[in-house]
Amino acid sequence: MKPVSTLEDLLDREAIRDVLTRYAHGVNRKDIDLLRTVYWPDAVEDHGTGVHSDVEEMIAGFTMIAGASVDVFHHLGLPLIRLEGETARSSTYVFCHHRVEGQSKPHWTLPPEPLTEDRKNTFQDFFMGGRYIDLMERRDGEWRIKHRKIAYDWFRVVDGQKWDTDYPFPGYENFHFGSPSSLDIGAEHFRGAFDPS
């Protein structure tokens, strides 16, 4: 792998990191419009459960999984990036958590299948550690994902209780809790809706 030698290399690497960050933020905040900025229209996504070559099909899949999850969290590690002209190869560590309501083994119950009464208020936590193996492509100066495979390094499913956003001790009633909606404090921040000073 060649060392970074030019300002253009640094700018390309930063642009690729921005693509990866937009992906994680879009999934975590369930921001579908942001996810559309991550993939080229002819991109291919291989999660292992199927290969998708239509961006809107991928978005529908994300929406369905997000709809089945009470909480979603993706945390990315530093990407290893190899630039190859108008393409780049990257490998990025990911730690992922999905909290799903209802007994869902051997698979998640996805909408529109409703939860039966005996499965409500029971939860499972899906933890995954792995890597996004991406082929990025630059078109008209913009980097996006052209092809993605996910490498699963480990996976764990844990039965659990409901997690509250209420802090369990008094005196912290004004904590700002996240929300996968336009009312989230981060969304407000980027809209300029509040002054953090």
Across the chain, what does the average pLDDT equal?
83
**Overall average pLDDT of the 101-105 stretch:** 68
- The answer to the question of residue 107 being in a domain is yes
1 lies in some domain: no
Indicate the length of the chain as a whole number.
197
* Residue 92, in any domain of the structure: yes
Residue type, 40: W
Instruction: Give pLDDT, residue 122.
Output: 78
What pLDDT digit, counting tens, does each position of 118-139 carry?
A: 777 778 888 999 999 999 999 9
**Of 41-45, 57-61, 130-134, 176-180, highest mean pLDDT:** 130-134
Look at residue 102 in the predicted model and tell me its pLDDT. Answer: 75
* Residue 110: per-residue pLDDT: 63
DSSP line for 39-102: EEEEEEEE-SS-EE--HHHHHHHHHHHHHHEEEEEEEEEEEEEEEETTEEEEEEEEEEEEEEES
Smallest Cα–Cα separation from 146: which of 132, 162, 159, 157? 132
Q: What is the pLDDT of residue 118?
A: 73
Q: Is residue 196 part of a domain?
A: no
Count of Cβ atoms closer than 10 Å to residue 117 Cβ = 7
Considering the domain boundaries, does residue 166 fall inside one?
yes
Give residue 154's pLDDT.
95
Mean of pLDDT values over 4-19: 92
> Minimal CA–CA distance to 80: which of 62, 93, 96?
93
Could you list the residue range(s) of the whole structural domain that residue 186 is in? 7-191
| Average pLDDT for 32-50 | 88
Segment 15-24, tens digit of pLDDT: 999 999 999 9
What is the number of structural domains in the chain?
Answer: 1
Residue with more model confidence, 176 or 143: 143
CATH of the domain at 144: 3.10.450.50
Question: Is the pLDDT at 104 greater than 80, yes or no?
Answer: no
- CA–CA separation, 23 and 184 (whole Å): 17
> To 5 degrees, how large is the angle CA 157–CA 154–CA 143?
110
Residue 20 inside a domain? The answer is: yes
In a domain, 2, yes or no: no
Q: Is residue 33 part of a domain?
A: yes
